Amino acid sequence: MPEVSEWNERVVAEFRANRGQVGGGYAGYLMILVHNVGARSGRNRINPLVYQAVGKNFAIFASKRGATRHPDWYYNLLANPRTTVEVGTETGTETIEVRARETEGVERSRIWAAQKAAMPVFREYEAVAERVIPVLLLERV
């Protein structure tokens, strides 16, 4: 069974029970469950994240709510980029195989600007993070 924190466990359960929808501060936003393998531990993990659809793929943001350090899942995906995600559908959730890659340059700027426009809180994260927030693209395999 993948390791998830108590908070993540509640969000994952809510996501799966409600066809990919969650409430609270994330109500109405696109959510995705990103499965990843610990870069050092080798343990399976699941992280619920907001995402942006980029064509048939998914952009995710290593904001860690504006922390000065990247989230662990970011390092996990760099070390083990081939993984699966769960997305909501009209009838439940769908599991999709993806390969993660970090975006750069114009591609990153375009996706990041769209995310800040869709969710202004990401502007706040950027202002306090004291780092460039990585944007990863999860491309369908």
pLDDT for res 5: 80
Is 88 domain-assigned?
yes
In a domain, 60, yes or no: yes
- The torsion angles phi and psi of 10, rounded to 5 degrees, stand at -65, -40
**Domain at 15, CATH number:** 2.30.110.10
Nearest to 87 by CA among 136, 20, 24, 40: 20
What is the pLDDT, as a whole number, of residue 1? Answer: 45
Q: Please choose, from the candidates 12, 13, 17, 18, the residue with its C-alpha nearest in 3D space to the C-alpha of residue 32.
A: 12
Domain count, the chain: 1
The string of pLDDT tens digits covering residues 107-119 is 999 999 999 999 9
pLDDT of residue 4: 54
Q: What is the DSSP code (8-state) at residue 40?
A: T
Structure tokens at 47: 């992280």
Any idea which residue has 């994330």 for tokens?
26
The verdict on residue 61 lying in a domain is yes
Nearest to 122 by CA among 53, 58, 27, 51: 51
Q: How many CA atoms lie within 13 A of 1 on its CB side?
A: 4
In a domain, 91, yes or no: yes
Is the Cβ–Cβ distance between 99 and 25 less than 8 Å? no
Alpha-carbon dihedral 36, 40, 41, 47, rounded to 10 degrees: -30
Please give the pLDDT value at position 6.
Answer: 87
Does 1 map to a domain? Answer: no
Asked whether residue 48 is assigned to any structural domain, the reply reads yes
Residues of the chain with pLDDT below 70 are 1-4
What's the domain range around 111?
6-126+135-140
- Domain membership of residue 95 (yes or no) is yes
